[in-house]
Amino acid sequence: MDDLITYLAMDRRFALAGGYALADRTHGAALFVDISGFTPLTEALVRELGPQRGAEELTRYLNLVYDAVIDELHRYGGSVIAFAGDAITCWLDGNDGERAVACALAMQRAMQPFAAITTTAGSTVTLAMKAAVAAGAARRFVVGDPTQRVIDALAGETLVRLANAEHQAQRGEVVVDEVVLAQLADRLLLLEKRHDATNGQTIGVVQGFASAHAVEALAAPWPPLAGSSLTQAQVRVWLLPAVYERLRRGLGNFLAELRPTVALFVRFTGIDYDHDDAAGQKLDAYIRWVQSTVARYEGTLIDLNIGDKGSYLYINFGAPLAHEDNADRAAAVALLLRALPQDLPYIEPIQIGISQGQMRAGAYGGTYHRTYGVLGDEVNMAARLMMAAEPGQILLSERARRSLSQRFAVQNLPPIRVKGKSEPAVIFALTGMQEVRSGQLTVPAYALPMIGRQAALNQAAAKLALAAAGRGQLLGLRGEPGVGKSRLVAEILRLGAAQGFALFGGECESYGANSSYLAWQPIWRGLFGLDGAWPAAQQLTVLGDGLREIHATFPARAPLLGPLLNLAIAENEFTSSLSPRLRKT
């Protein structure tokens, strides 16, 4: 249990152990800590040691650094609420900012041993930290589906001021927002004040306290809490299922590894965290819907963060579950997330960015607080594409576009400048799925006859004879890759064509199993002779004519075929009167 509880915020652990709830509305200080330098360190270690050993050595450095920083946070009574890449958002409840500033200064001292890291091959990499503090009211929510993972969320205007202050901070600095600056004016020593003309806010760059002993005097460490103080049921809902299962089985934390994955970032707005009493319920409903959608495609919701530029979600495809078609899965989910359901009317049109590349995946953090993360340069690219996207737009990096199948419609866009890149980034817009074409098949031609499948062919021929007599049949074909399934299917098609059957086919990727009738759509469109390149009105006319040939009353039933044909067909008086049971018969 000691390993399991490290994935929970410290104040949440004590609340669960004590049987009390953390207040929805609270007051205190928020602390944002961002550590830079891990990307060049990763590159140096992989170059010198290779992907596997380099990732292992990187994990060692990550744990050393976060141990030092989070130990100081816990020594001052703070809690890690969320990781965002290499940064952490922390909360010190009931504080006017003084203890949070003391904590940030102590963290800067703890970072000094990592100012210059020399690798085994002699490369030198610099790690540095910047910190920002804001104080005031905040909202504290628990959101998400317990079968997926529940998430601690911190929101409100104080977090907006925190983000604004952090944007003005530089490496090695501790800055405070204007509220903390006013409250602690006689207790802080400042290096300078900075004014942001875009938002009208002034921050202070802190040198230290007027009292030389204030930093240590303000320490308020958490008392010890054994993992056995919490039950498995209390803890498991806070961990990703794959992480929980691995720890439960005694296999230890996920080791860091470099693996190809796809990062998807979603920016959403529309919830008033400060003034809407139902903000928590609204956020919970949205997150549960997102989790359900992502789970259908076996992706993972990694992070939820709320700041000055709205709220954002980080979703990954490829870690901890790997697939060969991660880009297609991400694109399919992006299109679904863009089409908001009617029961979430408060969510404004979202912005999405997607990128792909080698990323470091695994558990990281200190001994007393950990998370599972997937980090890397392409994660940053996806986040920047999200911010560059217009509401309702999905932007793709060049790498993500190259991995996308032809099932998706993509539009070329002019290159854009993104932070951290010397050259303009080539980008694309994901606009939708390609139109479903007719599924009419042709018989593949082979120069040589098929040998050794006569029993299977005899069975297929018998099925075809029954079908020709009006008795519909199903024939399943299963086998390992490379055993000749495609060749056997071609021979069965040849038999069917020789007997006068019209041949139609449909297919979908493995994730398509979650989309109703996806593999059947090209078959039914082929049966009615519909071309996806035609205007919708023309397709509806051809469909109506085809139904009328079967029976004069059948055109009224056309809306029932909408999902099978991938067509939006408005309900009519007849179909609206049908019960759900009758619609399926």
230: confidence class by pLDDT, cuts 50, 70, 90? very high
336-341, long-range: CB within 8 Å, 24+ apart, which pairs?
336/293, 337/266, 337/290, 337/293, 338/392, 338/394, 341/289
pLDDT digits (tens, 9 = 90+) for 326-346: 999 999 999 999 999 999 999
Tokens found for residue 59: 């994990």
pLDDT digits (tens, 9 = 90+) for 535-584: 888 989 999 999 999 999 899 999 888 888 888 888 888 888 888 788 77
d(CA 239, CA 241): 6
80: confidence class by pLDDT, cuts 50, 70, 90? very high
Name, in order, each residue with C-beta under 8 angstroms of 150's C-beta and a sequence gap of 6 or more. Answer: 142, 143, 144, 237, 238
User: What's the rounded mean pLDDT across residues 307-316?
Assistant: 88
pLDDT digits (tens, 9 = 90+) for 101-146: 999 999 999 999 999 999 888 889 999 999 999 999 999 999 999 9
Among 178-192, 257-271, 517-531, where is mean pLDDT lowest? 517-531
| CA-wise closest residue to 379 among 285, 302, 280, 284 | 302
Tokens found for residue 472: 């519909």
pLDDT digits (tens, 9 = 90+) for 404-416: 988 899 999 999 9
Question: In angstroms, how far is CA 472 from the centroid of its own chain?
Answer: 44
Cβ(320)–Cβ(341) below 8 Å:
no
Residue 585 has pLDDT above 80, yes or no: no
- What is the percentage of the chain residues whose pLDDT exceeds 70? 96
pLDDT at 330: 97
Report which DSSP code applies to 231. Answer: -
529: confidence class by pLDDT, cuts 50, 70, 90? confident
Parallel, antiparallel, or unpaired: how do β-strands 124-125 and 25-36 relate? unpaired
The fold of the 2-213+226-433 domain, in CATH, is Alpha-Beta Plaits (3.30.70)
Among 83-87, 125-129, 303-307, 308-312, where is mean pLDDT lowest? 308-312
Bridge partners of 412, per DSSP, are 428
Cβ(529)–Cβ(542) below 8 Å:
yes
d(CA 419, CA 380): 9
Parallel, antiparallel, or unpaired: how do β-strands 427-433 and 394-397 relate? antiparallel
Q: Tell me the domain boundaries of the chain.
A: 2-213+226-433, 454-583
pLDDT digits (tens, 9 = 90+) for 353-367: 999 999 988 888 878
Residue 431 has pLDDT above 80, yes or no: yes
Handedness of CA 411, 413, 419, 423 (dihedral sign): positive
Question: Could you give the C-alpha distances from 556 to 532, 553, 560, 569, in angstroms and in order?
Answer: 22, 6, 9, 11
| CA-wise closest residue to 532 among 444, 442, 429, 432 | 432
pLDDT at 78: 98
pTM of the prediction? Answer: 0.79
Q: How big is the chain, counted in residues?
A: 585
Report which DSSP code applies to 273. Answer: T
